[in-house]
Amino acid sequence: MTGEPRIPLPARTAEARLLVVVRAESADDYAPVLDVLVEQGIRSLELTLTTPGTLDALPGLVARYGATADVGVGTVTRAEELRRAVDGGAAYLVTPVTDAGLVDLAVAAGAAIVPGGLTPTELHASWSRGAAAVKVFPASQVSPSYVQDLRGPFPGIRVVPSGGIDLDGAETWLRAGATAVSVGGPLLGDALRGGDPRALAARARAFVERCAPVPR
């Protein structure tokens, strides 16, 4: 399968230009942190499958937050995980790997998917099969100018960098032409380990403000 159809990122995620990756010890730890994030304007939540219980908890989390934020599922590496995420109501899917089978399965299911990769060959392989965007991972290994480098041979490719992106880095990548940024630790800090929710709220607001589109 090559070319279109391409299932785009959900509108709220695309508009926010910010995906917040939440990797917890257990799915039971999600709610207090997600409550703060959503209250502060975060509109795209990527819940990772390295967190035990995520797929079981997904339908309830979609019911709780779905009216306000897109609830996506990340670290998808197997077809069965992808199917369960789609059935559970995931707004989008993210995988750290380049796997044509996963992209094809997502497109066939009508689900937006953002596959990971680093080299031009990996990223083009996923983009050409209908990925919503490609995740440059780990983004810390390249500079924001990589977006323009990729668009030379691949015009129109949508890039979402991930890995070690802090507040200043998020702004720099977006100015360089990234479709969105994927942010975890620099925003969450110690929130999932009992950290101050007020500090989390302040960090979330700062990221929302920096990532918001500049009015024309």
Domain ranges of the chain: 11-211
Q: Could you tell me which residues come within 8 angstroms of residue 42 by beta carbon, excluding any fewer than 6 positions away?
A: 16, 18, 20, 69, 204, 207, 208
DSSP symbol at 28: G
**Helical ranges in 40-99 per DSSP H:** 54-65, 79-87
Mean pLDDT of 70-82: 98
Q: Which tens digits make up the pLDDT trace of 166-188?
A: 999 999 999 999 999 999 999 99
Task: Give the separation between CA 92 and CA 47, rounded to whole angstroms.
Answer: 10
Residue in this structure with the two tokens 């209250």, named with its chain if needed: 39
Q: What is the pLDDT of residues 115-165, one digit of tens each?
A: 999 999 999 999 999 999 999 999 999 999 999 999 999 999 999 999 999
pLDDT in tens, 33-46: 999 999 999 999 99
Evaluate if residue 1 carries a pLDDT over 50.
Answer: no
> Residue 6: how many CB atoms within 10 A of its CB?
15
- Residue 151 corresponds to which amino acid? R
Distance between CA atoms of residues 183 and 165, nearest Å: 6
CATH classification number, 11-211, choose in 3.20.20.70, 1.10.3720.10, 2.30.40.10, 3.30.420.130: 3.20.20.70
Q: Please, are residues 132 and 160 in contact by the beta-carbon 8 Å criterion? A: no
Residue 62 pLDDT exceeds 70? yes
Confidence of residue 4 (pLDDT cuts 50, 70, 90): low
Reported as a single tens digit per residue, the pLDDT across 12-59 is 999 999 999 999 999 999 999 999 999 999 999 999 999 999 999 999
pTM of the prediction? 0.95
Q: Are the CB atoms for 162 and 141 separated by under 8 Å?
A: no
**How far, in Å, CA of 141 to CA of 44, rounded?**
25
